[in-house]
Amino acid sequence: MKKLINDPATVIHDALSGLAAAHPELRVDLDNRLVFRAEPARQGKVALLSGGGSGHEPLHSGFVGRGMLDVACAGEVFTSPVPDQILAATAAADTGAGVLHVVKNYTGDVMNFEMAAELAAAETGTEVVSVIVDDDVAVRDSTYTAGRRGVGGTVLVEKIAGAAAEQGRALADVAAVARAVNERTRSMGMALTSCTVPAAGKPTFELGAGEMEIGIGIHGEPGRHRAPLAPAKEVAAMLVEPILADRPVGKGGPVICFVNGMGGTPLLELYIVYGEVARILAAHGIEIVRSLVGPYITSLEMAGCSVTLTEVDDELLTLWDAPVRTPALRWGA
């Protein structure tokens, strides 16, 4: 195993310490593994909280800041944060308007966030609403979850719901926006290599030199099937066509197209894939109105990519365009 780490046992602590040193606009609680905005949100603003296993950076800690999350909880690599972490984050983030939990649909995440929400209501009276992200079309059920997995769509949900919260909307309205984004979003991913969890010290699965895995999850779990290595245009079709078959996007509005890198794929290749995805969508008469290309929800050093399509109306597009200022995503004033 070759990794730029000190010790597998201190990976999360060391990474969060580095994040704090690099970004003074964030406040990091190393004991509870929480990342906050250094400048607290105004009183009466709905707080957005998300989190999950580490190893997917910049998700979630890199999306803490104005226009997105108020706090992120970091679990061990590919392991959900525990309820006590989430409870501490919820209590600290609440400014009196309630807290929205954005939860990827994995069994551990759902269970621990549910428990924390119940504890918050009982112990502090904090109103918590949870929105489950389940955009992956590759599988209906897996070892990690009942139903679809939450993958690239999480970035879209956090950004658009974060903008709604920044506008001062009520908790029910912010949750409705988050649910609308999730319902309009579908994703599909693939891998050229596995990843290596530091504590394990070996790849999660093996791929031959001429093989690729289609339909992978973000924890290194295998996908729908293994296929011979193919050109980017064929890979793009393998990712886009199942999305369009699952939800015929583009019938009621244009789309945001997000081509995500899994951690080990250079931007050169991601832009090649994006070009092929755009060509396929144009052939289907689907208009891309915004794009996002880059490694925003990763699986350690896995080589591969995913495609996420979100159908948007004027309201959701305006919220996507609203200013955002986080370590990993920033535009506008």
SS3 assignment for the chain: CCCCCCCHHHHHHHHHHHHHHHCCCEEEECCCCEEEECCCCCCCCCEEEEEEEECCCCCCHHHECECCECEEEEEEECCCCCHHHHHHHHHHHCCCCCEEEEEECCHHHHHHHHHHHHHHHHHCCCCEEEEEECCECCCCCECCECCCCCCCHHHHHHHHHHHHHHCCCCHHHHHHHHHHHHHCEEEEEEECCCCECCCCCCECCCCCCCEEEECCCCCCCCCCEEEECCCHHHHHHHHHHHHHHHCCCCCCCCEEEEEEECECCCHHHHHHHHHHHHHHHHHCCCCEEEEEEECCCCCCCECEEEEEEEECCHHHHHHHHCCEECCCCEECC
Are 37 and 125 in the same domain? yes
Is 34 within 8 Å of 60 (Cβ atoms)?
A: no
Asked whether residue 201 falls in the same domain as residue 179, the answer is: no
Residue 177 lies in a domain: yes
Which pLDDT does position 144 carry in this prediction? 56
**Residue 1 in domain:** no
Say whether both 212 and 277 belong to one domain: yes
Position 213 scores a pLDDT of 94
Give the chain's domain count: 2
Q: Of 121, 151, 183, which residue is a domain's last?
A: 183
pLDDT of 145 reads 57
Residues 105 and 198 reside in one and the same domain? no
**Distance from the Cα of residue 306 to its chain's centroid:** 12
Asked whether residue 174 falls in the same domain as residue 227, the answer is no
Looking at residue 40, its pLDDT comes to: 81
Same domain, yes or no, for 229 and 291? Answer: yes
> Do 81 and 210 belong to one domain?
no
Active site residues: 56, 219
What's the Rg (C-alpha) of the chain? 19
Enter the tokens of residue 333.
Answer: 């004033």
pLDDT number for residue 26: 98
In this predicted structure, what is the pLDDT of residue 248? 65
Q: Which of 131, 162, 183 is the last residue of a domain?
A: 183
Query: Is 288 within the bounds of a domain?
Result: yes
Asked if residue 260 belongs to a domain, the reply is: yes
Among 183, 205, 227, give the residue marking a domain's end.
183
CA-to-CA distance for 221 and 213, rounded, in angstroms? 10
Same domain for 32 and 16: yes
Counting as low any pLDDT under 50, the low residues of the chain are none
Q: In this structure, are 148 and 225 located in the same domain?
A: no
- What pTM value is reported for the model? 0.95
Strand order across the 225-228 sheet: 225-228, 211-214, 185-191, 304-311, 255-261, 288-294
User: From the CB of residue 231, how many other CB atoms can be counted at a distance below 10 Å?
Assistant: 9
Q: Is 3 a domain residue?
A: no
Question: What CATH number is given to the structural domain containing 216?
Answer: 3.30.1180.20
- Please tell me the predicted confidence (pLDDT) of residue 247: 76
Quick one: how far is CA 8 from the chain centroid? Answer: 24
User: 125 lies in a domain?
Assistant: yes
Same domain membership, residue 307 and residue 239: yes
Token pair for residue 277? 């995805």
pLDDT, position 327:
98
* Position 26 in a domain: yes
- Give the pLDDT confidence score for residue 142 in this predicted structure: 58
Q: Please tell me whether residues 260 and 305 are part of one structural domain.
A: yes
CA distance 248 to 16: 40
Same domain, 247 and 222: yes
Which domain covers residue 164, as residue numbers? 8-183
Distance CA 238, CA 283 (A): 15
Res 147: pLDDT: 82
Q: Report yes or no on 2 lying in a domain.
A: no
